[in-house]
Structure 1
């Protein structure tokens, strides 16, 4: 059976009652196209039949551990084929998967496991030690040889699908930041996941090859994972060391002939930086680039079409509470940025403070209705009741109050105007500024605190009023032990008082302006350390926006993150004439270590000279040709 026939045999559209849950659609492709590549990651490739059988074995292990329909099972796994099999296996067991971000501090991981009241955890071996509290553990890794044979019998263990999920059963539980800093889980049922996935199949009808760069705990992973595997496509899962290196991401796109990519705009901007340095040929296979998780800058949209004229760009908008996405705008050329119109099956309402519709051209709050509205916040009935309201236009339906401000244009598309509260997106992560401020106020020596984002939404700056003798750097280190990376301000600035608006409130716009204008003095390195050390320290100060850089402190402990590491790579090149690889910078994370690295010619990383990049590009072309040749043989 051809792929086109297989997709036709597994309809995505329809009503809630006749849409199969996503794991059943994957099983259907395991029978219809058993040998087709389902997941690729690193050197591993597994077909649909092998993936389905692997997931069935995980489901059987969960059943043996006492997991049943409606339970919640944590998944803490490194990106790769085992991660995908683990999520699929949890759904096959009748349970909902609860993805846990590997980057969370230990106490935060424990808080998520406790709040979700998980019955078990599926883990990869390297992360098993992070599951505490007596939670039963099931390994995601599989020692059995995958069976991708073209056979008509069911994969062994598929009987676990008999724990058939009803539309009202939970499918997954994803955690976001709460207003108090505590994790808050959004519970999505199979009905909403199926509706969202069906809408995605309608908007993006071709299966294609999807590059997954989002962590499983990031709700945009739902789009790549189930949007690809329920339509017979191939999912390429980027490994952590590839996500942190834009040139290696370019290599993944090129090597696997990726046709679709979804990421936050800040990461895509870095990817285009790399493409401009090494050539855009590596991105030639892309048919669709999807922006989500952050507002899309107009400059990035224009830049995309300047470099990739034949690749469409889609701007998606949607909160976790509406099952990943609620609106989209497809671009085939430069045009003004909007968040577009509702996705199939979704209703969008722009209302005033009384809940009444506002005229076109008038700012109002966005409410989302339709089949994709999640069940609510797990174990938080009051928060659920405040945000999930009855939909007067759909008997028995509900609509979600987003807190986002929008304006509907005359053509029906929506302009995003920001938040009506103090919630922001930092590198795609939803952050409640109030939660960060509350944690700061709880630290010894802090009288008051205010936190603002930078213009690019890549970092936070905290302002603190402190007792005499309190060290802001020590405060930041303590905060880093309590909160996820995206919630920790890159720097804390001590102030005597906060600027106020005419209404007596903290002038956040004034603080943001002050953060941007606060000068960063390049630190002076000891003369004995040599010029290279001083140049490295100056590059750190420029990127991290701090006046003093210790020589032996980790880059990430001073507020660095993966995106600033890319900026550091460029800053080091401009100051030293050497462009070290991102991989080598991640291995050498102090000023002293990077100075030694550069003094030695950055030999432990890739050759990032112009000649080296040309040679690497030639190797990528050769690898791509070899891959396409093998793919043709597989099809034959």
Structure 2
């Protein structure tokens, strides 16, 4: 390798692009050119033509505009594998708002976090989402509008299911059981409305810092106070009803205990005293009530009580009317006319959430200008056609889907949306690729590696197809054998490795894969797209010589605006560009190096480097050597902690006739230093995938721990 610095022309990528348009404008233009062309297709045929899809999107945009939702607002949608997701994306854009994808199978805590972090004004879903949307209505104070696209009636049922009041006819709860339910919350402070004979005070008081209560019977209060003094229990007891809760000590309590069938006034009074996240425990089974400050109700059948969880909404919203609910009935009465909007290239097009190192997801906000630059740059290199049909397999919560939607639809092509059954069975996807005239594929490499055996192995269909002409692979390592194997089935196929990050508007570099040389350690990462610059810098943020490793930084038009609502984290990774004053660059966390021909080689993640026996090890390097072995299809390496030190565990999949573990171990030992050879190797039928189609390393780590424990010291024979 040469030791010279990269020449200046490698950074000269500035080109004129259509920054006066938005991505949704490009889709609208295609709809006007060919309104009868198919736009959305599923297993049963054409769902919407371009004209129909655009009409639905404009009606949604008109509804949003009518209710004051536009530029500067966020519109969330539940990203089901349904044409409704496309209507939501395009409708939000036509209204001038940013769209925010949400997984309908995400944990409710994550959904609420994203909704509240973005202050989404509206959420779009289907009729089957009504219970979830109702729960969000109770916990997301910025939510003003809910849209159920597939419901045809004017007034859908949105009956509250998340909060509850008890049935007064239910049998009484035993004092010991009620006390157990209270103590299960591990409270420090408890409030009781109605002392009764003081049974709960006697059972719970000794275990908490402070027990407070309101009770209308003065004699009962006196008796309880005497017992508390005699037993050194801290208690603050007030004579009166729930209206006197405000006279108790001002600190918010952890648990409140109410009488059976509490009234709205009682719930409201207690809501002002219980901390957000605290509980209200009500004797008896649940019956519906409407109160937005009390979130999901949990029954405790062995206790006979109901637990209400306090949200962090202010008590004043309890019993509020909630957001407006709109349906397909309302959309059908909107004119199919684009509403007025005035967007600038720097306005937010979408906010998409990725995993965050703090444990909370981080929302990447991408501008219209950055998205259009990615669309235009890729269309110049790899033009889509009106006759194209893409098999849409990635989640609408994964940013690759954004190129699916805007790249294909703006060219006048069609999306063939794979349904949940097809995504669960790779043989079905293989059949669709062979039989339905699919021309485009876009996914992470492990997703296609999952399908490939059903196209190439002995029991694969004998057909070969000339329809698939362009494949985009991004977001993970491409096995060196995959391109040639794939072209054996699809002989006219162009395969492109696309790189970048969510923070760089889907993609920011590319490499078209032709001949794969036998001595390559990995598929090249490629060159930057137009108006995008790549730097490879050392720890002092100085350019590394060609051939030497450093951290990859990205600059230029493709950069995201930052992390929504998180200026601190934004400043940590979007740092000043030292080579263009006043501009920014993104610290990717990837390691790479320049090759002499101006291509980049990706060397793995900085955070995938681990210390093994005192040596710094890059897991991606081991994976590359494993994947390059004859008959190995894909590989992944994870670490497990064994008696305070890290051990490497390698997993791989094979083509027939397979690769014995010892054969692969011998190859690794002949190629890598001893400390880089995994302690344990396992051949598996398939690598587990995340919902984004990438290798699920957390799942592999779960498999690795028992595997290494079982193998003990025999793993390195």
Query: Do they superpose with TM above 0.5?
Result: yes
Q: C-alpha displacement at 1:185, in angstroms?
A: 0.6
**What are structure 2's unaligned runs of at least 5 residues?**
1-13, 154-332, 611-618, 628-633, 649-672, 697-717
Deviation larger for 56-65 or 80-89: 56-65
Q: What's the counterpart of residue 533 of structure 1? A: none
Is 1:218–2:398 an aligned residue pair?
yes
Q: What's the counterpart of residue 275 of structure 1? A: 455
Q: C-alpha displacement at 1:77, in angstroms?
A: 3.3
SS class of match (1:281): coil
Q: Which has the higher contact order (CA 8 A, sep 6+)?
A: 2
Q: C-alpha displacement at 1:381, in angstroms?
A: 0.8
Q: What's the counterpart of residue 65 of structure 2? A: 63
Q: What's the counterpart of residue 329 of structure 1? A: 511
Q: What's the counterpart of residue 241 of structure 1? A: 421
Q: Does the 8 A contact of 2:647 with 2:679 survive in 1?
A: no
- TM, length-normalised to structure 1: 0.64
Q: What's the counterpart of residue 293 of structure 1? A: 475
Give the Cα–Cα distance (whole angstroms) in 1 for the partners of residues 89 and 508 of structure 2. Answer: 24
Matches within 5 A, 1:453-472: 455=623, 463=640
Q: What's the counterpart of residue 40 of structure 1? A: 41
Identify the structure with the greater helix proportion: 1
Q: Deviations over 1:185-244 (max 9, x none)?
A: 100011111111111211211322222111111011111111111121222221122122
Between structure 1 and structure 2, the one with the greater Rg is 2
Is 1:141–2:305 an aligned residue pair?
no
Return closer, same or farther for 1:16/1:380 CA change in 2, 3 Å cut-off.
Answer: farther
Q: Deviations over 1:293-335 (max 9, x none)?
A: 1111212234223443321211111100001111111123434
Query: Which of 81, 98, 101 is the matching residue for 2:100?
Result: 98
Query: Which of 635, 641, 645 is the matching residue for 1:498?
Result: 645
Q: C-alpha displacement at 1:14, in angstroms?
A: 7.2
Return closer, same or farther for 1:332/1:514 CA change in 2, 3 Å cut-off.
Answer: closer
Matches within 5 A, 1:348-497: 348-394=534-580, 396-422=582-608, 455=623, 463=640, 495-497=642-644
Give the Cα–Cα distance (whole angstroms) in 1 for the partners of residues 589 and 566 of structure 2. Answer: 18
SS class of match (1:99): strand
Q: What's the counterpart of residue 173 of structure 1? A: 351
SS class of match (1:83): helix
Return closer, same or farther for 1:137/1:421 CA change in 2, 3 Å cut-off.
Answer: same
Q: Deviations over 1:360-396 (max 9, x none)?
A: 1111111111111110011111111111122344454
Q: C-alpha displacement at 1:103, in angstroms?
A: 3.4
Deviation larger for 125-134 or 97-106: 125-134
Alignment RMSD, CA only?
A: 3.6
SS class of match (2:645): coil
Q: What's the counterpart of residue 30 of structure 1? A: 31
Return closer, same or farther for 1:143/1:345 CA change in 2, 3 Å cut-off.
Answer: farther
Return closer, same or farther for 1:496/1:326 CA change in 2, 3 Å cut-off.
Answer: same
Give the Cα–Cα distance (whole angstroms) in 1 for the partners of residues 637 and 60 of structure 2. Answer: 40
Give the Cα–Cα distance (whole angstroms) in 2 for the partners of residues 66 and 459 of structure 1. Answer: 49
Return closer, same or farther for 1:460/1:279 CA change in 2, 3 Å cut-off.
Answer: same
Give the Cα–Cα distance (whole angstroms) in 2 for the partners of residues 14 and 235 of structure 1. Answer: 30
**What are structure 1's unaligned runs of at least 5 residues?**
1-12, 145-154, 425-451, 465-494, 502-508, 521-541, 546-554, 565-636
Q: Does the 8 A contact of 1:80 with 1:238 survive in 2?
A: no
Query: Which of 347, 358, 366 is the matching residue for 1:188?
Result: 366
Matches within 5 A, 1:552-567: none
Give the Cα–Cα distance (whole angstroms) in 2 for the partners of residues 26 and 357 of structure 1. Answer: 40
Q: Does the 8 A contact of 1:311 with 1:332 survive in 2?
A: no
Q: What's the counterpart of residue 52 of structure 1? A: 54
Return closer, same or farther for 1:352/1:172 CA change in 2, 3 Å cut-off.
Answer: same
Return closer, same or farther for 1:193/1:510 CA change in 2, 3 Å cut-off.
Answer: farther
Q: Deviations over 1:418-460 (max 9, x none)?
A: 0112499xxxxxxxxxxxxxxxxxxxxxxxxxxx999589889
Give the Cα–Cα distance (whole angstroms) in 1 for the partners of residues 493 and 18 of structure 2. Answer: 36
Q: C-alpha displacement at 1:124, in angstroms?
A: 2.1
Q: What's the counterpart of residue 264 of structure 1? A: 444
Give the Cα–Cα distance (whole angstroms) in 2 for the partners of residues 397 and 53 of structure 1. Answer: 40
Give the Cα–Cα distance (whole angstroms) in 2 for the partners of residues 513 and 128 of structure 1. Answer: 52
Give the Cα–Cα distance (whole angstroms) in 2 for the partners of residues 511 and 70 of structure 1. Answer: 53
Q: Does the 8 A contact of 1:192 with 1:374 survive in 2?
A: yes
Is 1:250–2:430 an aligned residue pair?
yes
Give the Cα–Cα distance (whole angstroms) in 1 for the partners of residues 472 and 462 of structure 2. Answer: 17
Q: C-alpha displacement at 1:412, in angstroms?
A: 0.5
Give the Cα–Cα distance (whole angstroms) in 1 for the partners of residues 562 and 374 of structure 2. Answer: 16
Give the Cα–Cα distance (whole angstroms) in 1 for the partners of residues 679 and 75 of structure 2. Answer: 42
Give the Cα–Cα distance (whole angstroms) in 2 for the partners of residues 185 and 212 of structure 1. Answer: 23
Q: Does the 8 A contact of 1:266 with 1:458 survive in 2?
A: no
Is 1:311–2:312 an aligned residue pair?
no
Q: Does the 8 A contact of 1:461 with 1:515 survive in 2?
A: no
SS class of match (2:524): coil
Query: Which of 656, 665, 680 is the matching residue for 1:516?
Result: 680
Give the Cα–Cα distance (whole angstroms) in 1 for the partners of residues 404 and 56 of structure 2. Answer: 20
Give the Cα–Cα distance (whole angstroms) in 2 for the partners of residues 240 and 223 of structure 1. Answer: 21
Q: What's the counterpart of residue 448 of structure 1? A: none
Give the Cα–Cα distance (whole angstroms) in 1 for the partners of residues 601 and 592 of structure 2. Answer: 5
Q: Deviations over 1:595-628 (max 9, x none)?
A: xxxxxxxxxxxxxxxxxxxxxxxxxxxxxxxxxx
Give the Cα–Cα distance (whole angstroms) in 2 for the partners of residues 26 and 267 of structure 1. Answer: 27
Q: C-alpha displacement at 1:180, in angstroms?
A: 1.6
Q: Does the 8 A contact of 2:469 with 2:494 survive in 1?
A: yes
Q: C-alpha displacement at 1:18, in angstroms?
A: 4.2
Q: C-alpha displacement at 1:285, in angstroms?
A: 0.9
Q: C-alpha displacement at 1:500, in angstroms?
A: 9.3
- How many residues align? The count is 447
Q: Deviations over 1:501-536 (max 9, x none)?
A: 9xxxxxxx999976734x89xxxxxxxxxxxxxxxx
Q: C-alpha displacement at 1:91, in angstroms?
A: 0.9
Give the Cα–Cα distance (whole angstroms) in 1 for the partners of residues 110 and 129 of structure 2. Answer: 15
Q: What's the counterpart of residue 231 of structure 1? A: 411
